[in-house]
Amino acid sequence: MSSVSQLQNPTQDGTILAVNNIEVVFNDVILVLRGLNLTAERGKITALLGANGAGKSTTLKAIAGLLGSEDGEVSRGDIVYNGMNITQMSPEQRVRNGTFLVMEGRGIVQDMTVIENLRLGAFTQPQKNVAEDMEKVFNYFPRLRERTGLAGYLSGGEQQMLAIGRALMARPNLIMMDEPSMGLSPLLVKEVFGIIKRMNEELGISVLLVEQNANMALRAADYGYIMENGKIVLDGTAEELMNNEDVKEFYLGGGGNERKSFKNIKSFKRRKRWL
């Protein structure tokens, strides 16, 4: 165990987030993450991919400190952000330190207006920044400026933009996004990923991206991890992963256009990364 945490030295300059060998347990009995390791580079987009139930969202919630309300806890390992051990820190303290999680399903407060939602994002910020930051967000998302009604009546794409805008209001260094493409049309997915890329490049915000849509995610990301059953099984640069045969087969839906028959089934032996 200790050798692992030495391998991923958190004080290394380029690393903004290092998750070292964490285990997450729900209700004291259900082991969801079993020794998960990952790092996110400063100023880069890191993608975390995997099937349903692999533990991707749990990983993000562990980093954001939101497991407590679901009766879960990090029972082993540590999470290091910016050289600080944040494993036991309260969620609000983590937000103050510059991490921000855009939750799955966007977490927009439906019965508030767009402006009220944005002000909520700036809850941890001094109030004098609010007007200025809101102007910035509206420049990013001009469409939100015209929406004066309740946030619940916005379209899915607009809600996703509002969620990203609200995250920007908190002036984070690391944004974690849980399935930004959920429930959006392909065109909107493209737009949202464009925005993520843009905010990464223009504002220098590091991004940790959890996605089902592996294709889109790897195209936007610099580095990727693939998760299965609470563990990382494969990692590499986005390019490496996109060209990996196993990833193509299992996550990118490649494998040619020829018709497949049960005759041709072969058992895949996946390369596992053993830590």
Residues that bind other proteins (CB under 8 A): 64-66, 69-71, 90-92, 94-96, 100-101, 103, 107, 109-112, 116, 119-124, 127, 166, 170
Supply the minimum distance, in Å, between the C-beta of residue 61 and other proteins. 8
Distance CA(224)–CA(201), nearest Å, equals: 18
The H or E element containing residue 57 is: helix 56-64
Supply the minimum distance, in Å, between the C-beta of residue 115 and other proteins. 10
Supply the minimum distance, in Å, between the C-beta of residue 250 and other proteins. 31
Supply the minimum distance, in Å, between the C-beta of residue 175 and other proteins. 12
Q: Which is nearer to other proteins, 161 or 226 (CB)?
A: 161
Q: Which is nearer to other proteins, 90 or 155 (CB)?
A: 90
Query: Torsion angle, CA of 186/192/196/197, rounded to 10 degrees?
Result: 50
Distance CA(50)–CA(107), nearest Å, equals: 22
Crossing angle between the packed helical segments 130-140 and 156-169, to the nearest 10 degrees: 140
SS3 sequence of 127-163 = HHHHHHHHHHHHHHCHHHHCCCCEHHHCCHHHHHHHH
Supply the minimum distance, in Å, between the C-beta of residue 77 and other proteins. 21
Distance CA(73)–CA(56), nearest Å, equals: 15
| Paired tokens of 27 | 């209700």
Q: Which is nearer to other proteins, 128 or 266 (CB)?
A: 128
Q: Which is nearer to other proteins, 95 or 241 (CB)?
A: 95
Q: Which is nearer to other proteins, 50 or 172 (CB)?
A: 172
